[in-house]
């Protein structure tokens, strides 16, 4: 009798534990991740006096929650230095992304808050290498990687078509709205090789138009890019242009990255940017070449030589060790 009672109590306890586990599974799922970019640089520029330094480029801490099958949220805290021209250059923590997302799977996602912009996030996700250098449109401060507003994005035909549309403040995630203007953005990408896991050929068009207040100037940004992914080689070629107040700027960036995951990767990148196409002698060419190794999916080290050559004036150049570590 006592044995039967013990078995009954054991089954009851097991059933209670199972019910508790089921209730826990119904709670919002939260995933926390982090990513750190850091580097060491030795300046080879004439007159630099062997200047060298370690520095933290960025540190990201992200929490994502899938609250229901169609509702989620994300918060990303970003740490970096303020503009080094200011007196206070401490590493500061600020909000990079903070959004509420409603989705119907890959077909459509809508986000509200501090949201991702459509072009830079797409390029970075495809070619990678952000820990080595910003993309040209970000480096030249033509586009921001995030902004306050709303966006919608999705895929169709098993990834053959992807798209992104947004209505944003236009000042970027680091500044509040300054006036009554707003910025509309749209990206469309077609990948005719989407059904092949080993190959990709995304062809992308992007436009951003800032609708100014009554007395302001409009800002038009446009970009076209082709990405290539074949076994052991990734590539990305883009043109990005900007036009505002009668001044046009633009540049071409090309990245080629042969990859042998077991051994290492090559990094070859060339940017040419002209801040005013109507003025001669002000363009700049930037060259990055080096090798990298991926220890884990988000943990890599790269050794690079980087050179910036203005059309008029002396170049700057140096040797760098870049690192990213993620969890």
Choice between 89 and 306, residue whose per-residue pLDDT is larger: 306
DSSP character for 200? B
User: Is a pLDDT exceeding 50 seen at residue 5?
Assistant: no
Rounded CA separation 188/179 (Å): 29
Mean pLDDT for the chain overall: 90
Range of the domain at 13: 2-326
Long-range contacts of 277-280 (CB under 8 A, 24+ apart): 277/248, 277/249, 277/250, 278/247, 278/248
Percent of the chain with pLDDT over 70: 88
Residue 108 has pLDDT above 60, yes or no: yes
The CATH number for 76's domain is 2.40.160.10
Query: What tens digit of pLDDT does each residue of 143-187 get?
Result: 999 999 999 999 998 889 999 999 999 988 888 887 888 999 999
pLDDT > 90 in the chain, percent: 73
Q: How many residues appear in the chain?
A: 327
| Distance separating alpha carbons of residues 282 and 151, to the nearest angstrom | 36
How many CB atoms sit inside 10 A of residue 38's CB?
A: 16
Q: Are strands 247-260 and 233-244 parallel, antiparallel or unpaired?
A: antiparallel
What's residue 227's pLDDT?
A: 98
Which pLDDT value is given to residue 163? 97
* 244-250 average pLDDT score: 92
Q: What is the dihedral of CA 24, 29, 32, 33, to 10 degrees?
A: 130
Q: Which CA distances in Å does 314 have to 251, 284, 304?
A: 20, 11, 20
Q: Which tens digit of pLDDT belongs to each residue from 136-154? A: 999 999 999 999 999 999 9
pTM above 0.75, yes or no: yes
Give the number of domains in the chain.
1
């Amino acid at each position: 009798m006592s044995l039967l009672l013990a078995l009954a109590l054991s089954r009851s306890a097991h059933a209670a534990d199972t019910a508790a586990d089921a209730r826990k599974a119904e709670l919002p799922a939260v995933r926390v991740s982090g990513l750190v970019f850091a580097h060491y640089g030795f300046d080879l520029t004439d007159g630099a006096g062997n200047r060298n330094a370690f520095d933290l480029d960025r540190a990201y801490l992200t929490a994502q929650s899938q609250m229901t099958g169609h509702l989620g949220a994300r918060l990303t805290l970003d740490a970096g230095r303020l503009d080094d021209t200011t007196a206070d250059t401490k590493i500061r923590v600020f909000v990079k992304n903070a959004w509420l997302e409603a989705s119907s799977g890959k077909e459509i996602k809508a986000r509200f808050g501090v949201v991702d912009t459509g072009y830079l996030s797409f390029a970075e996700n495809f070619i990678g290498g952000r820990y080595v250098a910003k993309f040209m449109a970000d480096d030249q401060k033509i586009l921001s990687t995030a902004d306050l507003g709303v966006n919608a994005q999705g895929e169709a035909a098993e990834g053959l078509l992807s798209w992104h549309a947004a209505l944003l403040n236009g000042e970027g995630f680091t500044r509040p709205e300054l006036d009554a203007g707003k910025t509309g953005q749209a990206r469309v990408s077609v990948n005719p090789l989407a059904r092949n896991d080993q190959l990709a050929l995304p062809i992308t068009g992007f436009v951003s138009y800032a609708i100014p207040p009554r007395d302001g100037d409009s800002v038009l940004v446009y970009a076209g890019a082709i990405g290539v992914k074949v076994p052991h080689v990734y590539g990305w070629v883009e043109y990005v242009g900007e036009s505002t107040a009668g001044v046009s700027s633009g540049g071409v960036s090309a990245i080629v990255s042969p990859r042998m995951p077991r051994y290492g990767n090559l990094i070859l990148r060339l940017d040419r940017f002209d801040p005013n196409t109507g003025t001669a002698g002000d363009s700049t060419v930037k060259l990055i070449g080096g090798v990298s190794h991926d220890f884990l999916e988000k943990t890599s080290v790269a050794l690079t030589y980087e050179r910036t050559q203005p059309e008029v004036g002396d170049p700057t150049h140096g040797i760098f060790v870049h690192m990213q570590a993620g969890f």
